Amino acid sequence: GNAGDDAILEAILQEMRSIDPDMPITVLSKDPRSTRLTYRVRAVHRSNFLAWHAAMWNSRLYINGGGSLIQDVTSRRSLWFYLANIRAAKRAGNRVQMYGCGIGPVTRESHRKLAAKIINKYVDVITLREPDSLEELRAMGVTEPEVLLTADPALILQKAPDDETDSVLLRAGIPPHGNYLCFALRRWKGFEEKAPLFGAAAEYAYRTYGLTPVFVAVEKHLDPGAGQLAARGLTIPHYFLDDAGGAGTIIGALSRMQAVVSMRLHALIFAAGQGIPLAGVVYDPKVSAFLRYIGQEQFVDLAELTGQNLCAMIDQCVAQAAHPEAQAAAVRNLQAMEQKNVEVARRLLKG
């Protein structure tokens, strides 16, 4: 149900099938039935310890990632779970790759020591999606695995055909071709008091540049509420895209935008791949890390967001739309770097 997580899975599966189209793959999932039907893989529930232990004993490679799994901000139990998986996979005889991932934040000192101990002992290769994660690994004391700087796997995904994207937009009541400004928002600590700023910025963009706001949900269960909150009281035309389907149609929808203002990392990644001007609102360091990686300094922390700096970023996006070359070149470079992820997997499988 999270487009970013689903996109990472789709990209990794695509790359594994480039190694061997018939490779048997098992995915740990919160919804195994949906995962099996959508991606044509074996899937076991992530809480079914016997099932995923059995899968590990019948596998040669364990992939942890992508995304930021090694962090304790959302939950310390999440960190423990993924570290336990890494250890179990290695003990079952697998090579272990942390794949196109981000690292952190890991805030507790005891967690940093535990993560470093497990990663040093049980991981073969780490491929990272941005340089900030490399610095975090070094600060934690991770020294044993091979570490390579690559990029987020979702960068390889292509947009859906135009007719599919048209259908998704029309179902949401959105004319497929218009002058749109996307807001991809999520609830986070401090968001509610900042929400009216997004509405005011939407009004500004519409009256100044003729851009109609579209509030896009990347996580279709949680994000619609953030969009509704931001749009409360709007007096201009606006739309909600609460379920844009899979990664391909979300990318297609974002490709129809003139600019994207996003808290969600993968909305920024998807839009960057389409050459769409970006502005980031940072609730997690991974957002600013990605934008810096593509040479984009247009972001502000959620806590420091003001109407003035948000509208200034929209101004810059509009100006940048006339000169997309620099961002497009940076994304092409990242897409080439991303291929190291699958090259490492191929090497580990042969090993």
Token pair 């806590």 is found at: 303
The predicted model scores a pTM of 0.90
User: Which pLDDT score, from 0 to 100, does residue 65 have?
Assistant: 87
Q: What is the 3-state secondary structure (H, E, C) of the chain?
A: CEHHHHHHHHHHHHHHHHHCCCCCCEEEECCHHHHHHHHCCEEEECCCHHHHHHHHHCCCEEEEEEEEEECCCCCHHHHHHHHHHHHHHHHCCCEEEEEEEEECCCCCHHHHHHHHHHHHHHCCEEEECCHHHHHHHHHHCCCCCEEEECCCHHHHCCCCCHHHHHHHHHHCCCCCCCCEEEEECCCCCCHHHHHHHHHHHHHHHHHHHCCEEEEECCECCCHHHHHHHHHCCCCCCCEEECCCCCHHHHHHHHHCEEEEEECCHHHHHHHHHCCCCEEEEECCHHHHHHHHHCCCCCEEEHHHCCHHHHHHHHHHHHHHCCCCHHHHHHHHHHHHHHHHHHHHHHHHHHC
First to last CA, the chain: 35
User: Which pLDDT score, from 0 to 100, does residue 190 have?
Assistant: 96
Domains, the chain, with CATH or none = 3-154+337-350 (3.40.50.2000), 162-332 (3.40.50.2000)
pLDDT tens track, the chain, 351 positions: 788 889 999 999 999 999 999 999 999 999 999 999 999 999 999 999 999 999 999 999 999 988 899 999 888 999 999 999 999 999 999 999 999 999 999 999 999 999 999 999 999 999 999 999 999 999 999 999 999 999 999 999 999 999 999 999 999 999 999 999 999 999 999 999 999 999 999 999 999 999 999 999 999 889 999 999 999 999 999 999 999 999 999 999 999 999 999 999 999 999 998 889 999 999 999 999 999 998 888 999 999 999 999 999 999 999 988 777 777 888 888 899 999 999 999 999 997
